[in-house]
Amino acid sequence: MWVFGPLFNYMIYDLSSHYDNTHSQYRSTSSFWNQPEKASDSWNWKCLLKLRVLAENFVKCTIGNGRRASFWFDNWTPLSPLINSIGTDGPRNLRVPLNAKVCDTCNQDGWSLTNPRSEESLRLHTYLTTISLPSDTQKKDTYDWVVDGKTYAGYSSKAMWAVLRPRAAAVGWFSSVWFKGATPRHAFTMWTANLDRLPTKSRLLGWGMNIDPTCGLCSLHLECRDHLLLSCDFALFIWNAVCIRLQLPQVSFSSWPDLLDWTRTKHVNSPSTLRKLVAQSVIYAIWKQRNNHLHNQTYILPSLIFKEIDREIKNSITARRLKKRFMNLMSCWLH
């Protein structure tokens, strides 16, 4: 959507010349907001037409001489586009053509509308008594992007993203998954695991698949996220090797929140950044080995897996050694 923001700006601020020069076949329907989509239209043009439903809520028109603003389709009153608030029967009830400009609905004596036949039409009549009549002595009609009551000088991708994709409440696990210096593939696997969206056998079984739900790495318990990544004998060997390397007591995670708490714990020998880096590398390595064993029937000893993790950690720290958070991590990992 954001790719077409500048194009929307261009069309909104220079509609007349745009249609005269580029889309002369649409002159009979002069408003951008009610242009029909045709099979012969370009792909870009079709995309713009599809985005009108979103854009019409943010494009506000200020009436000047009324020669540019569409009476029914432009957002020039507090009632939103009148074709939406009054309805498709509006042109017949108010005796105003569908393609009329605002200046077409008034003369020097006032607004030339029929008596209102609905509550919305009455509200429109009431509003019109509060504004001055369009006239040739006034400036041209203008259009603005208005988001949450704030007017922007042109299209704002940032403001539009914020209003169309509002931020959810902050979650406690965010810093354990997405942090500066994380390895993207490790962080993604960690994020998927944190949401319990990895296709473990217990989840596949819940989807109706006829499979053996036993853990492929230990062949003792049901393969769920917490067992596979935290309490399986294969995983425990790797977590114990990590604790030995960091000179920490042996750890036993009873649940996933315990792992997240562990990554956020600060210690002189194992800063939080190092713990996050290690935890994500371990989760990724275990999940990779699980898939390797399941699909390729290849089993690698956990001691060899830890050597791969060790190499991953060293490479990650070396690549980011100039960053403040990573300057002392190598000594913490190798001590």
Helices (H), 96-183: 119-128, 157-164, 174-177
81-85, 185-189, 306-310: segment of lowest average pLDDT = 81-85
Cβ atoms 8, 51 nearer than 8 A = yes
Q: pLDDT tens across 213-262, in order? A: 999 999 999 999 999 999 999 999 999 999 999 999 888 899 999 999 99
Backbone φ, ψ for residue 169 (5° rounding): -65, 145
Global pTM?
Answer: 0.64
- Cα gap 262→249, rounded to integer Å: 12
Could you tell me the pLDDT band of residue 9, with boundaries at 50, 70 and 90?
low
Q: pLDDT tens across 149-176, in order? A: 888 877 778 888 888 887 888 888 999 9
Q: Where are the domains of the chain?
A: 2-164, 174-334
